[in-house]
Amino acid sequence: MTIERFPVEATHTMMFARAIGDPNPAFADPESPEAAAVGGVVAPPTFAMAGFQFDPDNPLRPKPGQPWFGSGREPSGEQREGGGVLHAEQVFEYHQPLRVGMVLTTTERAGRTWDKQSRSGATLHFSETITEFRDAGSDELVVTATMVGVKTEPAAESKD
């Protein structure tokens, strides 16, 4: 994801913490002793992924006036291209605490790629995408996220 402006806000970290089932007030309540102990509300360790909310091109969000591949009147609204990539691995490196009040920017680059054979003979194509989240104020690195996607290519050629 490439995001120009990802403001880290307390309502968002609260909703995210609820969504992962984590009741720690350090992620939600600025008045709590848990937040005070770490200098204010901070984001849960995987929160950087919620930057998708600020990606104008996020293909996994329905947009007004555009077809959506999920169901409506029909089980699917459109044929989807570029699908079929599964999330195989995820790594975060933390350079400093991710705090409410920060505004992040991201840069994305491709990392390594490699292939593996599955037991059924299919080829699994792995590829890394590395996203750096920087504090827009200081330009310091906050989080580096490495996502590994995998796409499967069947062993036998399909008939169509």
Partner 1 sequence: MAKVEIPRVGESRTMVLFDDLTRTQIVMYAGASGDYNPLHSDEVYTTKVAGYPSVFAHGMLSMGATGRLLTDWFGPTGLTRFGVRFVNQVWPGDTLSATATVEAVRQDGDVTLVDLVVSTTNQDGKPVVSGTATARINP
List residues binding partner 1 (CB under 8 A): 12, 15-16, 18-22, 24, 26-27, 33-34, 37-38, 42, 44-46, 49-55, 58, 60-62, 68-71, 75-76, 86-94, 97, 146
| Cβ-based nearer residue to partner 1, 5 or 61 | 61
Provide, rounded to whole angstroms, the least separation between the CB of residue 38 and partner 1: 5
Min separation Cβ 120 and partner 1, Å: 16
For 144, residues 6+ apart whose C-beta sits below 8 A from its C-beta are: 92, 93, 95, 130, 131, 132, 133
Report the residue number, 75 or 121, with the smaller CB distance to partner 1: 75
| Nearest approach, Cβ of residue 43 and partner 1 (Å) | 9
Q: Which is nearer to partner 1, 34 or 136 (CB)?
A: 34
Q: On the CB side of 145, how many CA atoms lie within 13 Å of its CA?
A: 21
Quick one: DSSP state of residue 108? E
For the record, the structure tokens of 56 come out as 């104008």
Q: Which residue lies nearer to partner 1 by CB, 27 or 133? A: 27
Minimum CB–partner distance for residue 11 and partner 1 (Å)? 10
Instruction: Name the residue nearer to partner 1 (CB basis): 47 or 134.
Output: 47
CA atoms within 13 A on the CB side of 122: 11
Q: Is 145 exposed, middle or buried (0-12, 13-18, 19+ CB in 10 A)?
A: buried
Query: Which residue in 105, 98, 103, 96 sits closest to 40, CA to CA?
Result: 98
Least distance in Å: CB of 137 to partner 1? 18
